[in-house]
Chain A
Amino acid sequence: MATILEDSKFNPDQKLKVVGTNPVKHDGPDKVTGRAKFGADMYLPGMLFGKILRSPHAHAILKSIDTSAAEALPGVNAVATRDDFPELQAGTPGGDLSRNIMAREKVLYDGHPVAAVAATSESIARRALKLIKVEYEILPHVIDPVEAMQPGAPILHSHLRTKGVEGAQDTPTNVVERLVCEMGDVEKGFAAADFIVEGEYDSKPMHQSYIEPQGCVASASQDGQIELYCCTQGIHVFRDRIGEILKIDSAKIRVSQSEMGGGFGGKTSPYAEPVAAVLSRKSARPVKIVLTRNEVFRCTGPVSATKSKIKMGCTKDGKITAAQADLVFQTGAFTGSMFFNGPWAMFTRYALDNIHTVACEVVSNRPKVNAFRAPCVPQIVFGVEALVSEMANKVGMDQIDFRLKNAAKEGDTTVFGQTFERIGFVETLEAAKQTDHYKSKLPEGWGRGVSTGFWFNRDGDTTGSLTITPGGSVTIMVGTSDVAGSRISLSMMAAEELGVPVEKVRAILSDTAMMGNNRVTAGSRTTYSAGMVIVDSARQAIAEMCRRAAEIWGVPVEGVEFVDGAVHPSSSNVGEFEPMSIAEIAAKTSVSHGAISGHTEMNVTGAGPGFGVHLVDCEVDRGTGRVDIKRYTVIEDAGKAIHPLQVEGQYQGGAIQGVGWALNEEYIYGEDGRLQNPGFLDYRIPVASDVPMVDTVIVEVPNPRHPYGLRGVGEVPVTPTLGAVGNAIGDAIGIRPTSLPMSPPKILKLLKDAGLNTN
């Protein structure tokens, strides 16, 4: 049977009954009543509490660890150190992960795990940690990525040589990779330019700051099976990576997912989960570990700090002729920043012929970075959009018209080699131009910023199944995670296919044993990809119902069609038969023929790229440097909004996360290399009184590769934010900031240096 991978049967004229409405999400009632179970909410009989001892040093040789006093404390059932983890080769993915989860030869950042205990209570576990004696030989450390690239900088990994550099390298380095991306001829492009603009920009790490710290319970049996309950953006990835570093067959590890209290990319890889598994194996009891907020800040996330030097040129009629960049991405103590996204996405949305970028990924003595919505893109777009606005001003064009003149369209080729199919950037820009916000007169003293953003949108391997109950209702199951409401969106697509009310459908999230592999729930891939497999499963079930009806009626299967939730004879020539609803066929045949179901696994392709435009009005206090966001509008192409309220929520949440990153959020290190603000008091994410309502415009340029035309919407809303806020501040005070976050002290300094400070 042809799957939708070959033909989505997308029909722009289809009259939709469920898709595009806003039903209450089925996981909602449990979440407003306290019944929903998150990572920390699991309790098992006999369960122990695990705690992790962490390095107070940024860089040190781990000389010895003495756990004897901790082991002797009553109530302590197990202690684990590096000796309990198989030694995997340094510099391999498994070797890096293992060393990040439990330090081996050295500690590489403040907070790096060095030992763990499991005890009968949290307070005993805390006391036991204090009894562990660790001998360190402190080494010089390096925090700043550019300093880490200099000759003579402290070296984190003696095995490291730079990938992407020709010739032999005799000495170790902190530069993991040097990546060149180019198309056309930038020299020629700049020669053709009437205006050339350039700037240097920098950003600090921000943390994903999900409100739910990582929590898990691991339970190992004496025959080597491990059951793991945790909050995760990828059950199968957790299973396979834990199996890899503990040298356990994946089939012996069963990972179940809790509700997830925010992830934003930060829960795509394990931290405490393998430690809980080791402690459970050693104690033969279930072990729960819940990270504290301090641990979350010091040891998980954050995003890459960056330095960028960008140059662009355009003609006097507003055509961009060349774009060039030198980029540095800090990845923390281990590689894995996905920094290639930066050079691939930074200019993509403008149709450019000449691009040249050099990007380096650099290790330093900070926690290994993790994914965050559009990893490594927003902090680079921050600089690009400053220059785009500057060019528009030089040319004397309207900000949106300048971007429209250069906007990428179907058929344009990107620097990463993709040729765009149908995309909606032009429509998104035109919609932005029509908003009340853009047409409104800017109040005296305010500034207005415009920025655009792009994300590839991901797809990849995905599994799902659908079963019709004998009573005619529908259960669906997927192996992906639900980070913000995918279960209801998937239920809606199943309901639309089967012609039943969405209340007849219930979605559940599988564990690793119930479903085949799924790529992590990340990159705005899940509603798209899991939607594909659920629609495919529904179409299999429909085909089966048609076969059964044909059998009951004694007609060829070609004579049966499925319309509006029932099988009908496809024409009067087939015969006179009363239509049979799903419930009737299920009731008649579930016992004789087995359940009516569909099951699909596929490596989903065809995710349609997403584009957004952000409009920001701000006011800058010239006495304090504080920036007040007065008005915000997000305009973005969703392809098709399955559940518009949820799509709006993605736009609004992404924008406000970006506002926090733009104005306030950063990791602050002391001279000693220790993180000084590992808590929500000193690392301040936006609170309700900091921000205005966020207006949204959902543009719908369908992606024909999907049965309902949708595109992912989770990453794009963060990509333009930093640039939009920066441009608004620049418009308000006449100086475009170049350093993130644009916090009051930095803005005050800009104002003072320009003589604009009112104090």
Chain B
Amino acid sequence: MAKTHITTTVNGDEYEVLCEVDQTLLDVLRDELHLTGTKEGCSSGDCGACSVMVDGRLMCSCLVLGVEADGKSIDTIEGMADGDVLHPLQRNFLELNGLQCGICTPGILIAAKNLLERNPNPTETEIRFWLAGNLCRCTGYDKIIRSVMAAAEEMRGN
């Protein structure tokens, strides 16, 4: 099958990729660019483990074709820390034990960061509904929600 050439920016770096037309953005990130921080949990948009930002919009990368990433700017978990300085969300997840096995964590961090950019002071209920598309089977969500609330408070400068 003929492959399609795309140019895409991931975490600020430009990449040229030859991708098969049925490859998802998730496949391209993982199999072609070996950026495996973005996880595959279901490939049907139900679990949120593959959440990335595409031109500033939160998306399940399993529901986006690789060829659609042509000319777009993608942000993944690998770009969240600023060099060796963790994002406040990352740090609060560590300190408050907002992760157990860690497989859902990249997607949850990407989604939570997007929430806090749109709403710096979310209520518990708003966080729960924003993250309703990100499944976690280990934690029961309690410490995830608390980690997001703590990071939000810190980022508001309190």
Q: Check A28 against B94 for contact (C-beta < 8 Å).
A: yes
A687 to B104 CA separation, bound complex (whole angstroms): 12
- Interface membership of chain A positions 646-671, coded 1 if the CB is closer than 8 angstroms to chain B and 0 otherwise: 10110011111100000000000000
User: Shortest CB–CB separation between residue A486 and chain B, in angstroms?
Assistant: 11
Given known A-B contacts A27-B102, A123-B1, A212-B103, A687 and B132 have beta carbons under 8 A apart:
yes
Q: Identify the stretch in A34-42, A550-558, A614-622 within 8 Å (CB) of chain B at 4 or more residues.
A: A34-42
Q: Assess whether A691 is interfacial by the CB under 8 Å rule.
A: yes
User: Shortest CB–CB separation between residue B86 and chain A, in angstroms?
Assistant: 7
Given known A-B contacts A211-B135, A293-B44, A693 and B145 have beta carbons under 8 A apart:
yes
User: Shortest CB–CB separation between residue B90 and chain A, in angstroms?
Assistant: 4
Q: Check B137 against A653 for contact (C-beta < 8 Å).
A: yes
CB-CB < 8 A to A483: which residues of B? 101
Q: Which of chain B's residues has its CB closest to A482's CB?
A: B101
Interface residues of B in 23-52 (CB under 8 A from A): 23, 27, 30-31, 34-44, 46-47, 49
Give the residue of A40, A210, A259 whose beta carbon is less than 8 angstroms from that of B137: A210
Q: Check B137 against A262 for contact (C-beta < 8 Å).
A: yes
A434 to B124 CA separation, bound complex (whole angstroms): 27
- Interface membership of chain B positions 124-152, coded 1 if the CB is closer than 8 angstroms to chain A and 0 otherwise: 11011101111111111111111000000
Q: Check B138 against A484 for contact (C-beta < 8 Å).
A: yes
Q: Check A679 against B44 for contact (C-beta < 8 Å).
A: yes
Q: Assess whether A2 is interfacial by the CB under 8 Å rule.
A: no
A462 to B78 CA separation, bound complex (whole angstroms): 36
User: Range of interface residues on chain A?
Assistant: 35 or more
Given known A-B contacts A212-B103, A688-B131, A649 and B97 have beta carbons under 8 A apart:
yes
CB-CB < 8 A to A260: which residues of B? 101
CB-CB < 8 A to B34: which residues of A? 43
A40 to B109 CA separation, bound complex (whole angstroms): 20
Given known A-B contacts A29-B86, A32-B109, A123 and B22 have beta carbons under 8 A apart:
yes
CB-CB < 8 A to B81: which residues of A? 33
Q: Check A689 against B132 for contact (C-beta < 8 Å).
A: yes
Q: Check A293 against B100 for contact (C-beta < 8 Å).
A: no
Q: Check B103 against A262 for contact (C-beta < 8 Å).
A: yes
Q: Assess whether B76 is interfacial by the CB under 8 Å rule.
A: yes
Q: Assess whether A290 is interfacial by the CB under 8 Å rule.
A: yes
Give the residue of B20, B23, B27, B41 whose beta carbon is less than 8 angstroms from that of A211: B41
Q: Check A32 against B93 for contact (C-beta < 8 Å).
A: yes
CB-CB < 8 A to B103: which residues of A? 38, 210-212, 259, 261-262
- Interface membership of chain A positions 547-585, coded 1 if the CB is closer than 8 angstroms to chain B and 0 otherwise: 000000000000000000000000000000000000000
A601 to B124 CA separation, bound complex (whole angstroms): 47
Most chain A beta-carbon neighbours within 10 Å: one of B22, B103, B129: B103
Q: Check B42 against A293 for contact (C-beta < 8 Å).
A: yes
Give the residue of B39, B44, B90, B96 whose beta carbon is less than 8 angstroms from that of A680: B44
Q: Assess whether B105 is interfacial by the CB under 8 Å rule.
A: yes
Q: Check A649 against B143 for contact (C-beta < 8 Å).
A: yes
A36 to B81 CA separation, bound complex (whole angstroms): 15
User: Range of interface residues on chain B?
Assistant: 35 or more
Q: Check B42 against A262 for contact (C-beta < 8 Å).
A: no
Give the residue of A32, A34, A654, A681 whose beta carbon is less than 8 angstroms from that of B94: A32
Q: Check A293 against B102 for contact (C-beta < 8 Å).
A: no
Give the residue of B22, B30, B141 whose beta carbon is less than 8 angstroms from that of A656: B141
Q: Check B102 against A259 for contact (C-beta < 8 Å).
A: yes
CB-CB < 8 A to A41: which residues of B? 30, 36
Q: Assess whether A150 is interfacial by the CB under 8 Å rule.
A: no
Q: Assess whether B65 is interfacial by the CB under 8 Å rule.
A: no
User: Shortest CB–CB separation between residue B137 and chain A, in angstroms?
Assistant: 5
Q: Which of chain B's residues has its CB closest to A34's CB?
A: B37
Most chain B beta-carbon neighbours within 10 Å: one of A123, A208, A483: A123
Q: Check B78 against A33 for contact (C-beta < 8 Å).
A: yes
Q: Assess whether B74 is interfacial by the CB under 8 Å rule.
A: no
CB-CB < 8 A to B1: which residues of A? 123
Q: Assess whether A24 is interfacial by the CB under 8 Å rule.
A: yes
CB-CB < 8 A to B143: which residues of A? 645, 648-649, 652
- Interface membership of chain A positions 669-687, coded 1 if the CB is closer than 8 angstroms to chain B and 0 otherwise: 0000000000111000111
CB-CB < 8 A to B76: which residues of A? 34
Q: Check A685 against B139 for contact (C-beta < 8 Å).
A: no
User: Shortest CB–CB separation between residue A268 and chain B, in angstroms?
Assistant: 15
A43 to B29 CA separation, bound complex (whole angstroms): 13
Q: Which of chain A's residues has its CB closest to B129's CB?
A: A689
Q: Check B139 against A653 for contact (C-beta < 8 Å).
A: yes
User: Shortest CB–CB separation between residue A116 and chain B, in angstroms?
Assistant: 19
Q: Assess whether A518 is interfacial by the CB under 8 Å rule.
A: no
Most chain B beta-carbon neighbours within 10 Å: one of A24, A292, A688: A688
A208 to B101 CA separation, bound complex (whole angstroms): 14
Q: Which of chain B's residues has its CB closest to A483's CB?
A: B101
A41 to B102 CA separation, bound complex (whole angstroms): 13
User: Shortest CB–CB separation between residue B75 and chain A, in angstroms?
Assistant: 12
Q: Assess whether B99 is interfacial by the CB under 8 Å rule.
A: yes
A290 to B23 CA separation, bound complex (whole angstroms): 15
Q: Check A691 against B140 for contact (C-beta < 8 Å).
A: yes
Q: Assess whether B117 is interfacial by the CB under 8 Å rule.
A: no
Q: Assess whether B54 is interfacial by the CB under 8 Å rule.
A: no
CB-CB < 8 A to B124: which residues of A? 693
CB-CB < 8 A to B78: which residues of A? 33-35
Q: Assess whether A243 is interfacial by the CB under 8 Å rule.
A: no
CB-CB < 8 A to B97: which residues of A? 22, 25, 645-646, 648-649
A28 to B86 CA separation, bound complex (whole angstroms): 12
Q: List 18 A-B contacts (CB under 8 A).
A: A28-B94, A30-B102, A32-B102, A33-B90, A34-B106, A38-B36, A121-B20, A123-B20, A210-B101, A262-B103, A290-B40, A293-B44, A649-B97, A649-B100, A649-B139, A654-B140, A680-B46, A688-B127
A sample of 16 more A-B contacts (CB under 8 A), given A34-B78, A261-B39, A293-B47, is A28-B94, A29-B94, A31-B105, A35-B37, A35-B78, A43-B34, A212-B39, A259-B103, A653-B100, A657-B140, A680-B42, A686-B140, A687-B135, A689-B131, A690-B132, A691-B140
Where the two chains meet, the residues of B that have a C-beta atom closer than 8 Å to any C-beta of A are 1, 20, 22-23, 27, 30-31, 34-44, 46-47, 49, 76-78, 80-81, 86, 90, 93-97, 99-106, 109, 124-125, 127-129, 131-146
